[in-house]
Structure 1
């Protein structure tokens, strides 16, 4: 793009004057962001408009009046015959001042239009941001509603096995509950009775076979402290006989740390 040719085209003056269409304004605005030379030219045009406004000052009128007075001769004495006083036509007439007034109005109009265009762009961006935030909130609410409906269907399903997990060892004051949906091969862990894990630690859920004792990891509970209802879904394709929850290093462990076994519960025979 030939930046100098673009500047000489006169479109920037129309941009400052607010005489372009919305699409043209957007195109100029994009080029301003891309080319510092165009931005500098727009600033120069705005500065010229401000100087034009400042130039229309009452000092002009005062200088004209001084020129008029300089052409008036002193009044004649009583003994002398009256002199005819000739006034030269002032260099600046009412047309000149009308022109300056029009310039002031034009300059003020240009600045007001430019400010309105910028305000409009800001309002549009604000509205777009608010719309995006609203869409995210609606999507989050929709997801929460779907999650709630799923949990309610699980809790009310007579075929869902409920397995209470009691506190173990040094953690007797903790508890949890497993809702096992065998048809869908998944479990819902109600971990409301567990404290937030320490920094760098996570809870890990285990499916257990009792004879011989064989633990299988169902996964870790991620973002435990960020979930308000403390209900987590994990896959479980196993023929589980018991469930346990241990505290493990972030990322989980291959085998459960028995010293950190928080809760344990056996599946009752149907």
Structure 2
């Protein structure tokens, strides 16, 4: 006989609850006499039901009788005659089981609902942030387009130099508010420990003035940077310098250069 399969079938729970026919009760009783494992399982089921009933309705238990059974040392005195349905007592047990199961089901569903609400709220907040970021980016893009489309803007292409002929950039210079907009899409990411540095140049004599370093170049998505420039620039250049920048441009690392054309 497959003891494990028989236990898992649930028939022992029905036996304890008095839900079997007299014939089925007799069959289970006979098996309990043959297999100690089944006897132990029945005792454990009865103990669990008694404990559950006590937790839900303490007055339903005869504690003196139950205590006497716990103190017994000889398991052979346990009476396992075929059980007849005891509808009054087992109805109470069944109600207790249903109540406990209902409480567990309700608690579990409440926790699941709270988790779902929390997830929905988090997703809603994340979507709101994305929408707000998109609006901010759209507004910034519109402002930038308006600036570089101004009729008085001066566009200065910066061509690649020497070994860096494939690189390029472009400066949009608004002399009215001393601002340049640098489009550096044509430059590669700066290597570790290096930064791009922008220079304003006068040509005669050649005098470079630093406009600062682009420290966030590698992480910026659109590669367009707004830079203050109050100089009377005749050209603009971009060099690759050590982190922190240099006082004068490293000419061997001059990537792009462009001369300002002031002619209409």
Q: When the two structures are superposed, what TM-score results if normalisation uses the length of structure 2?
A: 0.65
Q: Does 1:160 align with 2:116?
A: no
For residues 63-106 of structure 1, the C-alpha deviation after alignment (integer angstroms, 9 at most, x for no partner) is 9979x99xxxxxxxxxxxxxxxxxxxx99731212111211211
Shift of 1:108: 1.1
Partner of 2:139: 146
Q: Does 1:135 align with 2:128?
A: yes
Say which SS state the counterpart of residue 236 (structure 2) adopts.
strand
Partner of 1:57: 13
* Contact 2:198 2:213 (8 Å CA) reproduced: yes
Partner of 1:95: 88
The structure-2 alpha-carbon separation of the partners of 1:63 and 1:130, relative to structure 1 and needing over 3 Å to count, comes to closer
Q: Does 1:217 align with 2:210?
A: yes
Partner of 1:191: 184
Partner of 2:101: 108
Distance 1:154 1:63 in 2: 86
Distance 1:61 1:260 in 2: 90
Distance 1:150 1:59 in 2: 81
Q: Which runs of 5+ in 1 are unaligned?
A: 1-53, 70-89
Distance 1:95 1:130 in 2: 52
Partner of 2:163: 170
For residues 145-184 of structure 1, the C-alpha deviation after alignment (integer angstroms, 9 at most, x for no partner) is 1122122212321101111111122212221110011222
For residues 206-243 of structure 1, the C-alpha deviation after alignment (integer angstroms, 9 at most, x for no partner) is 11222333222222223333334322211222222211
**1:21-40 maps to which residues of 2 (within 5 A)?**
none
Q: Which runs of 5+ in 2 are unaligned?
A: 1-9, 27-82
* Contact 2:18 2:86 (8 Å CA) reproduced: no
* Contact 2:201 2:209 (8 Å CA) reproduced: yes
Partner of 2:230: 237
Say which SS state the counterpart of residue 245 (structure 2) adopts.
coil
Distance 1:264 1:61 in 2: 93
1:266 to 243, 251, 259: 259
**1:41-80 maps to which residues of 2 (within 5 A)?**
57-61=13-17
The structure-2 alpha-carbon separation of the partners of 1:63 and 1:170, relative to structure 1 and needing over 3 Å to count, comes to closer
Say which SS state the counterpart of residue 232 (structure 2) adopts.
coil
Shift of 1:190: 1.2
Distance 2:228 2:160 in 1: 23
The structure-2 alpha-carbon separation of the partners of 1:61 and 1:175, relative to structure 1 and needing over 3 Å to count, comes to closer
Say which SS state the counterpart of residue 237 (structure 2) adopts.
strand
Distance 1:129 1:252 in 2: 42
Distance 1:112 1:62 in 2: 25
